[in-house]
Structure 1
Amino acid sequence: MSRQRIFAGNRLKQLRTDRAIKQAEFAAHLGISTSYLSQIEHDDRPLTPALLDRLQRLFPLEWEEVAAEAGDRRAGALREAAADPLFAASPLPPEQLERAALQQPQLADQFVALHAAYRRAGQRLQIIDEALTGGTAEGSRLPWEEVRDWFHDAGNYVDSIDRAAEALAGQLRGKEPSPAIETIERRLRDALGISIVYSQTQALRDFDATMRHLVIDPSQPAESRRFQLAHQLAALALAGEIAAVVEASPLRTPAARQLLHVGLANYAAGAVLMPYAPFRASARAVRHDIDRLRMQYGVSFEQACHRLSTLQRPGARGIPMFFCRVDMAGNITKRHSATRLQFARFGGACPLWIVHEAAAIPDRILFQLAETPDGLRYVSMAKGLVKPSGSYARSPRRYAVALGCEAQYAGDFVYADGVDVAAPQAATRIGLSCRICPRDDCDQRAFPPSDRPILVDPDRRDVVPYRIG
């Protein structure tokens, strides 16, 4: 059985042109001769497995589609598993991985499955951490925990709702990138018979389904008012799609199902205001500059960050991002990761993570290059935000959001400009949670790890009053 040869000359040349790289420079970057590159660009030569692997590592977004079109999913999964820092001491050559995927498909699938089990074993420590710090066992999760984990297991992408919301946005936005607030109001009034009043109440949004009456608190920022209108529109216009997803979910309690319904309506609202295809294209064009995206689409900083973490549509994925929101006490109140980074399920995150500093310094973007105990590096930005309450009697909400990706995508993450992501001492060595962090030399440790003994020497005092066995 022979492998399909991959010709992608036009794609390669377009990539080089888009990045304004000369042919000789691009060839040197790929480790081939200029004449060989020219032959590939004219489709006189196919891409070799080694060259395809190099292109996918250097330009992961552009070459994801090439791999999918070539039917290379097994080989791609095998390459991803073999790229784990666990195997860094003796990496497998790309040609060998290609042959394994082609000639030994069952062995390749078992290797990928074994690696996935290894990753899940690490996540089991987080469940132990959950039981220790949250006082709950896996079988007794609270409704909001069930819903949070449902979105995590779904990859924070819900295809049926995302596509329906994108179609709805297409009817409303015309030539604009995002539907205007007046257009959303008009659709609610004319098509759905909803009366809308702006009046300050205790609720940000209050809908009377019987009277078909919607009250919006006008003290909210403009982007928040628009989001509340989009939520109500999505909840009504996409009621069938949302109900089908809720019905198919494994959630056990009525409260969890209701929370999922609300969460899906919020998801749909974000997809209406930031429709998938144009938003993904815009994000790539501005290299994920949040301020430019939020101004272009009329959304808040947090809304734009959250939407970027959902761009995981098969065949048209965005950069795999992690996103979280942290309050002033260090609690993670929102979290999602499409990367290999997993957040602590309860309580605070690593104190060395830049998001904690951002919470104390509102309205300023901070950057961090971080390395987790498994050797993976991540580039991330964090920003402290303040949401006004509209009244002196109510304290404003203060928190920080963080967004990041693996360091291999740094070239498409504007916040990483000017940073040498490979410099040995450049990264901050972070963990996930002190109870599951294996580092034995961290001055910021708050608790000993739950799976290792501690050694106490009464005659010696370091920053931490014990050593890890």
Structure 2
Amino acid sequence: MSKTLIGPQLRQLRRAYNQTQAEMARQLGVSASYINLLENNQRSLSVKVLMELTDAYGVDWRKLVNDNEAILLADLRATVRDPIFAGAAPDLQELRAALDHAPQLVEQFLKLHQSHRFLLDTLHHVGDPESRSGVLAASPESVIHDFFRQNENHFATLERAAEAARDRLGGRQDDLYAMLKSQLQRAHGIDVDVVAIDEMTDTLRIFEAENGRVMLSEALDPINRTFQLAHVLGLVSCATQIDALIATDGSLPEIAHARCRVELANYFAAAVLMPYGPFLNLAETTDYDIDRLTATFTASFEMVCQRLTTLQRRGAQGVPFFFLRIDRAGNVSKRFNATPFTLAEQGGSCPVWNIHSAFASPGTIVPQLVELPDAGQFFTISRTTDRPAISRHTQDRRLVVALGCERAQLQRVGYARRFHMAENADVAEIGINCHICPRQACAQRAHEPLHRKLPIDANRRGSTRYES
């Protein structure tokens, strides 16, 4: 606690009670000058004063000391780079000062910008039959993405539970399936059966909690069978922790609870298969060689990529990555984010990004350096991942997984070596969606932006039919 600084939170709390610094000091039994130092982040918070604050004001101390500054700073930095703001963007020092001295103003500013972006996206989907639920309704997937992002894609309670579970399992990595099967039966009375595809039809796993039975489809390969058992272990052994995480976020709507429970159980499963310490250590020593990680931890390419986004433990952080999975039509079916990258929620991602061309080179990792309209640059890799084949009609059901990090992290990622060695590496200028992309003279433009008019000259033909 010796390094805990809560200046903005303390000032906001005092103002909520319409108190002066002297009045708050009297209530806490400290001097007014000490309150002043705390509010200006010139003194760290002691455990004694924290407990006094909890008792006197009835606040949850975890919310009081919760450090969301990194997330807010990243969001604010990305927001002010939006092309709708003319002129030079504020520098990092100005942004930090805004967070320190006007946190509520920053919060309202970010909400306003989010509303602006949501309006543009809503206009894009007006008339779409899939949008019948109403323009204000957010999808569970979008809500869960935000829930994970607000938690920095890292859940310490589930990490600890997974480490304890892995210690109880013991044994070698290639024996995990048998050990998980034994643990489920011994500790929870759950039997595991591999069932014929004809009996499971289009289902890959069924957990009958009331009968103490897990059924796995023959269509699952050994890696995914192991993952599904770890998922079930998470559901039965971490139900309390998962429910507490869901309950902590009061903004999470009821409709998203079931999906969130699934994703948190998946998080636990990945942490069991790929324990934090050994996984991070190998990632760092191999310059994030995904093939090495998949071989050592007997995991799939997609599992490893998604696990890489969760390495955000305080004091032991990996490279902050974003993760995106799309189908051939560009529909986003999964996304997680530990970076300032703006991930597209719906289909229609930019064709300039080679995440689409990866379908033409199955199993090959395709690297690219990209720049968003806000001038943020990211290094990305894209590669296909296969779905389980249940019959001859379900062959070639490939998806593409993309993993990316900020350009500042290039030196730590081996796949980016040729980019950071080249002084003038090619940078692909991409957007999130043609309907909201402000770029002019883009040869791949398919629609005119909803929020600006492109110049049209009848006597000149530009690179697209939308401008000249």
Q: TM-score scaled by structure 1?
A: 0.73
1:192 equivalent to 2:188? Answer: yes
Alpha-carbon deviations, 1:144-180, whole Å to 9, x = none?
Answer: 4333332233332222222222221222245x46871
Alpha-carbon deviations, 1:434-460, whole Å to 9, x = none?
Answer: 222221121111222221123433443
Identify the match of residue 182 of structure 1 among 173, 178, 185: 178
For residue 144 of structure 2, what is the aligned residue in structure 1?
Answer: 147
Distance 1:126 1:80 in 2: 13
| CA-based RMSD | 3.5
Paired residue secondary structure (1:434): coil
Aligned-pair identity in percent equals 34
For residue 400 of structure 2, what is the aligned residue in structure 1?
Answer: 400
Aligned residue pairs total 389
For residue 306 of structure 1, what is the aligned residue in structure 2?
Answer: 306
The correspondence of residues 278-357 of structure 1 with structure 2, limited to 5 A, is 278-357=278-357
For residue 158 of structure 1, what is the aligned residue in structure 2?
Answer: 155
| One-letter amino acid of the counterpart of residue 158, structure 2 | I
Alpha-carbon deviations, 1:250-296, whole Å to 9, x = none?
Answer: 36654421111112111111111112222111211111111110111
Alpha-carbon deviations, 1:83-102, whole Å to 9, x = none?
Answer: 9879997997x9xx6xx99x
| One-letter amino acid of the counterpart of residue 124, structure 2 | T
1:130 equivalent to 2:121? Answer: yes
The correspondence of residues 36-435 of structure 1 with structure 2, limited to 5 A, is 109-110=100-101, 123-135=114-126, 139-174=136-171, 176=172, 180-200=176-196, 201-202=200-201, 203-250=203-250, 254-420=254-420, 423-424=423-424, 426-435=426-435
Query: CA 1:263/1:179 → structure 2, altered by over 3 Å: closer, same or farther?
Result: farther
| One-letter amino acid of the counterpart of residue 198, structure 1 | V
Contact kept, 8 Å, 2:181 with 2:191, in 1: the verdict is no
Query: CA 1:117/1:438 → structure 2, altered by over 3 Å: closer, same or farther?
Result: farther
Distance 2:253 2:73 in 1: 38
Distance 1:443 1:256 in 2: 39
| One-letter amino acid of the counterpart of residue 379, structure 2 | V
Higher mean displacement: 449-458 or 264-273:
449-458
Alpha-carbon deviations, 1:171-216, whole Å to 9, x = none?
Answer: 2245x46871111111011111111110121211111111111111
| One-letter amino acid of the counterpart of residue 157, structure 1 | H
Paired residue secondary structure (1:325): strand
Paired residue secondary structure (1:347): coil
Paired residue secondary structure (2:136): helix
For residue 39 of structure 1, what is the aligned residue in structure 2?
Answer: none
| One-letter amino acid of the counterpart of residue 185, structure 1 | K
Alpha-carbon deviations, 1:311-337, whole Å to 9, x = none?
Answer: 122232211111100111011111122
Q: CA deviation at 1:396?
A: 4.2
Distance 1:451 1:405 in 2: 29
Distance 2:158 2:294 in 1: 22
Distance 1:439 1:219 in 2: 45
Paired residue secondary structure (1:435): coil
Higher mean displacement: 210-219 or 310-319:
310-319
Query: CA 1:320/1:121 → structure 2, altered by over 3 Å: closer, same or farther?
Result: farther
Distance 1:325 1:75 in 2: 25
Query: CA 1:344/1:236 → structure 2, altered by over 3 Å: closer, same or farther?
Result: same
Paired residue secondary structure (1:444): coil
Contact kept, 8 Å, 1:177 with 1:278, in 2: the verdict is no
Q: CA deviation at 1:299?
A: 0.6
| One-letter amino acid of the counterpart of residue 310, structure 2 | T
Q: CA deviation at 1:461?
A: 2.7
Alpha-carbon deviations, 1:82-138, whole Å to 9, x = none?
Answer: 89879997997x9xx6xx99xxx9666137887777666654443124312344566
Paired residue secondary structure (1:379): strand
Distance 2:376 2:403 in 1: 16
Structure 1: stretches of 5+ with no match in the other structure: 1-71
Distance 2:179 2:345 in 1: 39
1:449 equivalent to 2:442? Answer: no
Structure 2: stretches of 5+ with no match in the other structure: 1-66
| One-letter amino acid of the counterpart of residue 385, structure 1 | T
Query: CA 1:227/1:444 → structure 2, altered by over 3 Å: closer, same or farther?
Result: same
Q: TM-score scaled by structure 2?
A: 0.74
